[in-house]
Amino acid sequence: MIHDLKSLELHMSRICGQRIEITIRGFRQFTFSFEGDHPEAVQRMRDYLEGYLESALSEYDRECDYTVLYITIREARITPVETNPEQRNGNHMSEKIPEIPDHIVDRAIELLEADSIDGICLSCEAEQYGVEPDARNYHCESCHRYDVFGADEIVLMGGLRG
């Protein structure tokens, strides 16, 4: 769990451009905090998590020079991801969060730590080169399903599974 949390902190730090610390406050409740007043970093996190958020409240403490973002993740229904591109509506945030096995999350963490630009197919587990970090439902060259996800996205979804 600690390794997953540190990987999620690394991932979100890349997203917002600030070194952040994540605190788990409760079921689906997190606090993201970092030094300084950086509203643009808060906005980048909100934008990135938009489809997952139930609520988000941020505040800056001038006395401590610290920004805090309190978030609650919406409840996810764990079901297989749609594989037919004609049935997808183009809004990737409206899709259900797929179940990510621990060994896939571990492989994604290894890819991130190696600064790789590979993704992983959630159907056949093949690695695919040249996948954007936040990719979702890309075409797999091995099994031809639309289940390739970027390593950053896999780590994030793995961290959201409660």
Beta bridge partners of 146: none
What mean pLDDT is predicted for residues 124-128?
A: 92
Give the residue from 50, 139, 131 showing the smallest Cα distance to 154: 131
If you compute the radius of gyration of the chain from its CA atoms, what whole number of angstroms results? 16
Residue 136 pLDDT class (50, 70, 90 cuts): confident
User: What pLDDT is attached to residue 70?
Assistant: 93
**Strands laid side by side in the 127-128 sheet:** 127-128, 119-121, 148-150
Q: What is the pLDDT of residues 58-117, one digit of tens each?
A: 999 999 999 999 998 887 544 444 444 444 444 444 456 677 888 998 898 888 888 888
Give CA angle at 127 (124, 132), nearest 5°: 120
Instruction: Give the residue extent of every domain in the chain.
Output: 2-73, 85-159
CATH number, domain 2-73: 3.30.1360
What mean pLDDT is predicted for residues 135-140?
A: 86
